[in-house]
Amino acid sequence: MHVTHSAAAPASDEISFDEFLKVDIRVGTIVAAEEFPQARNPAYKLQIDFGETIGVKKSCAQIVTNYPIDELPGRQVAAVVNFPPRQIGPAMSEVLTLGFADSEGEVVMFAPDVKVPDGARLF
């Protein structure tokens, strides 16, 4: 499946509300971030705390351009937590951190504008 990240991309095919609910999007707090020089595209390896039920999960995120690594711990982010883990080079990514492309095509993370409990689900 090819996904277009541009604002000019047409809307995707219509889905049912039940299909949408199958995608489990949660908020978590980044607790650690490290450089990921082995990645094909510049990326960080993140550890994100999704609260007691889901716990801390790993994610590889191509957010280097817009986010200095030392500013990441403590930030809340949204992620899909029910995709199967995916091998990214030598690392395993357990969740998909969500973001939008800015005008330069670089990722801007999707996050609540007010702190919410880690593990809160998007609805």
Domains in the chain: boundaries: 20-109
Contact present, 74 and 33 (Cβ < 8 Å): no
Q: Alpha-carbon distance 107 to 109, whole Å?
A: 6
Identify the pLDDT of residue 5: 62
Q: Alpha-carbon distance 73 to 31, whole Å?
A: 5
b/e 13-29 (16+ beta carbons within 10 angstroms → b): eeeeeeeeeeeebbbbb
Nearest C-alpha neighbor of 110 from the set 122, 36, 119: 122
Identify the pLDDT of residue 1: 40
Q: pLDDT tens digit string along 55-77?
A: 999 999 999 999 999 999 999 99
Average predicted confidence (pLDDT) for the chain: 93
Neighbouring C-alpha atoms within 13 Å toward the C-beta of 54: 25
The domain 20-109 is classified under which CATH number: 2.40.50.140, 3.40.50.720, 2.40.420.20, 3.40.80.10?
A: 2.40.50.140
Q: pLDDT tens digit string along 14-55?
A: 999 999 999 999 999 999 999 999 988 999 999 999 999 999
Q: Alpha-carbon distance 70 to 33, whole Å?
A: 8
Identify the pLDDT of residue 117: 98
Which residues on neighbouring strands pair with residue 92, listed in sequence order?
87
**pLDDT at 4 exceeding the cut of 60:** no
**pLDDT at 95 exceeding the cut of 50:** yes
What average pLDDT does the segment 102-122 reach? Answer: 96
Question: pLDDT class for 3, splitting at 50, 70, 90?
Answer: very low
* pTM flag (> 0.85): yes
Neighbouring C-alpha atoms within 13 Å toward the C-beta of 44: 22
